[in-house]
Amino acid sequence: MTATGTFGLSTEARNLQWLLGNLVEEVPGVRSVTVVSSDGLMLLSSDPATQLATTAAADAGRPDGPRGSSADLATIVSGIGSLTIGAARLMDGGGVKQTMVAMEEGSVFVMSISDGSLLGVHATPDCDMSVVAYHMALFVGRAGHVLTPEVRSELRKSMESTQ
């Protein structure tokens, strides 16, 4: 986890961290996961199990940085969320439930949690998309009622203290 340890966090915040970690560890093909607030700030994140993307970028002569990291995923999830919400408004489509972007080298999934918060997953190209989406829906179902304004504030402060 990128967030600070569980010391000093409420039971709800620790449970959310556990659920997020479980999503990464238990679902085949999941590289990293993040939860982003409605204002685009990362609330929870997991680092990829392997740092292959960052290592490959450094080996290719690109500058070190957050490429492929939780920070990048949070930015991407926030942008995709804004884009799809805008598209849904223009098309009178109602609320956006989930979005999936399939690429040659992976997939990005974005699912609404509550109050504009989003769950984002970066997965491998060979992942079973239905399994990833199913486990994301389980996370959303479990996290939605726990992600209160108080818990969001606590998680935001926890993330800020690690940066």
Domain ranges of the chain: 11-162
Please state which CATH class domain 11-162 belongs to.
alpha beta
What is the rounded average pLDDT of the residues 144-162?
A: 84
Q: From 92, 91, 84, 88, select the one nearest 109 (Cα to Cα).
A: 84
Q: Could you tell me how far CA 120 lies from the centroid of its own chain?
A: 3
pLDDT at 62 over 60: no
Residues in Cβ contact with 98 at an 8 Å cutoff, skipping those fewer than 6 apart: 109, 110, 111, 112, 133, 136
For residues 46 and 160, the model is more confident at: 46
What is the rounded average pLDDT of the residues 80-106?
A: 95
pLDDT at 54 over 90: no
Do residues 38 and 115 lie in contact, with contact meaning Cβ atoms separated by under 8 Å? Answer: yes
Do residues 115 and 83 lie in contact, with contact meaning Cβ atoms separated by under 8 Å? Answer: no
> What is the pTM (predicted TM-score) of this model?
0.81
How does residue 3 score in pLDDT terms, banded at 50, 70 and 90?
A: very low
Query: Quick one: pLDDT at residue 46?
Result: 85
